Amino acid sequence: MPRDLDSLVEVFTAPLVVMPGGWGESLPEWIKGEITLQRMVRLMKGDDDLATDAEATAYLYTASLTNPIGRDWTEIYCYLVNKLMSAKGSPVPDDVRVEKLTDYQEEELRGLKRWIRERQHKVLNERKKVEKRAEQEER
């Protein structure tokens, strides 16, 4: 498959990276839809090294349900949710509104997005290896 077609297929097939603990199944459908939309935008822009805001939100959603998260991660999570809700035209309550992150929080978020994307590539590469082996066994 050409690289462009592989990238398009990946928009729909890349795994959702969530915190282990069983909360991945409770991820709201609207976040899953937003993940697909943001992946399409990422593909159109040619940005491939970081996960999307929606993917980071999904991870932090499950992380916050698995374990308590600290102040910085809570603010990062609120910031991401604010961005998603604002883009949808939904009101954001004042008590959870975070409109700007510190430089440290920005770097932490970039690191999370990079890590999520690495996990996705690892799973996708493993899938390709399994498919290749299955093809070879068929021959």
* Distance in angstroms between the alpha carbons of the first and the last residue of the chain: 19
Spatial CA neighbour of 7 closest among 42, 35, 53: 42
- Give me the chain's average pLDDT, please: 92
Does residue 6 surpass a pLDDT of 60?
Answer: yes
Can you tell me the mean pLDDT for 76-83? 96
Query: If pLDDT is split at 50, 70 and 90, which confidence band does 1 have?
Result: very low
Question: Residue 47: what pLDDT?
Answer: 82
Question: Residue 139: what pLDDT?
Answer: 77
Can you tell me the mean pLDDT for 111-136? 92
Does residue 85 surpass a pLDDT of 60?
Answer: yes
Question: Residue 3: what pLDDT?
Answer: 56
pTM (2 decimals)? 0.89
Distance CA 49, CA 74 (A): 24
Question: Residue 120: what pLDDT?
Answer: 95
Question: Residue 2: what pLDDT?
Answer: 42
